[in-house]
Amino acid sequence: MKKKKLWLIPVVILIVLAVVLAIFHQAVYLVFRNLTVGKLDLDESVDNWTGGTVYKQVQYADVSPTDYVDLYLPDGVENPPLYVIIHGGGFVSGDSYTRQAQFMYRYFRDRGYACASVNYRLAQEAAFPAGVEDCKAAIRFLRAHSAEYGYNADRIAVFGESAGGYLAAMCAFTNDDEFNDLPFIGQEELGNVSAKVDVLVDYYGVMEWGIAKDLPAIGLPQFIYNIANSWLSKDEMEGFSSFESYWLRQEVSSMTDSELAVSDPYTYLNENVTPDCGLSVWMVHGDCDITVPCPQSDRLYEKLDRILPAGDLVFHRVPDMGHASDPLYKEEELEQIKAFLDERMR
């Protein structure tokens, strides 16, 4: 009799699975899309560029050996426009050679842009505002040394992805009285210069602390978010509960509004971004992102859309794409970004 009832086991399992799928169907869809997204060809082991001159690990500040840029100058282009690339990695990983940075600078250096891929101090070395100060020092260094290297830094475009999107936005939204205390190399002889950014290219940037608040909006339970982002352990973050808290060296949940405001891009957007400020913004975010949920970019777009003139703001909300998905860097997307930059940089 007991043997005859064994058939009930797979039936019960199927019922349980069906219930789980019914309850978490949106989360299952999000995870599936992240796991099955296609890959683009990119040999990250070599970068033997023959289309111009490369200056590797040019130090822009002497506070840390990690403060350097890799500069790519294309042959046959007189005074090329400057495109600054800021990598992501949750403020705790990555460097000037990350996969996403390479997608961006490889495309643009081959099409007439001087590209500077920025390395900066990660959270393990120095907490906020170190990374912001580093990136702004890099921009000032690049502007001050433009004649030496031979590119046009009258106008500067900045790209950032994920945590780099936050840093790029902070560079674009802040003024020269904010986060400019770190001297760049050559500042004593050349004098201080502006860190002004003219075009921001933001890929799925972290724009608000407390990412978990957006999980219900995309149908993602906290436990699945934790599993998907478990590459970063509490031990690596010195006991902090999230990369955001580690970067700020204080639990986000315990911070007051005034404490949060110091590191909040919206604080500086509200102060400095106006219809006549000259800033243009291109945004890209996959709607299946389970690391930095897309509502972060939705709200930023809504805010900027009320400020910037028509044509100076573009948002590509890309269906079925996850965080840092390769297809976000397809030639068709980068070609559109180039057209946007060409119109505003030359």
Domain boundaries, the chain: 52-345
Whose CA is closest to 71, among 108, 41, 122, 121? Answer: 108
Q: So what's the pLDDT on residue 26?
A: 79
pLDDT at residue 14, rounded to an integer = 53
> How would residue 31 be classed by pLDDT, with cut points 50, 70 and 90?
confident
Phi/psi of residue 189, nearest 5 degrees: -85, -40
| pLDDT, position 17 | 45
Asked which of 23-32, 67-76, 236-245 is least confident by mean pLDDT, the reply is 23-32
Give the percent of the chain with pLDDT over 70: 91
pLDDT at position 33 is 82
Cα–Cα nearest to 159, from 93, 88, 89, 217:
88
Provide the 10 A C-beta neighbour count for residue 12: 9
Structure tokens at 165: 């999107």
Q: What digits encode the pLDDT tens for the residues 247-279?
A: 999 999 999 999 999 999 999 999 999 999 999
Domain 52-345 has CATH 3.40.50.1370: no
Task: Report the DSSP beta bridge partners of residue 202.
Answer: 160, 283
Q: What is the pLDDT of residue 265?
A: 98
Rounded to 5°, angle at Cα 67 from 115 and 81: 20
* Mean pLDDT on 125-133: 98
Alpha helices in 186-329 (DSSP H): 187-190, 215-218, 222-228, 243-248, 257-261, 265-272, 295-305
Q: What is the pLDDT of residues 67-116, one digit of tens each?
A: 999 999 999 999 999 999 999 999 999 999 999 999 999 999 999 999 99
List Cβ neighbours of 122 (8 Å cut-off, separation of 6 or more): 66, 89, 91, 92, 93, 94, 131
Helix (H) or strand (E) holding 314: strand 313-318
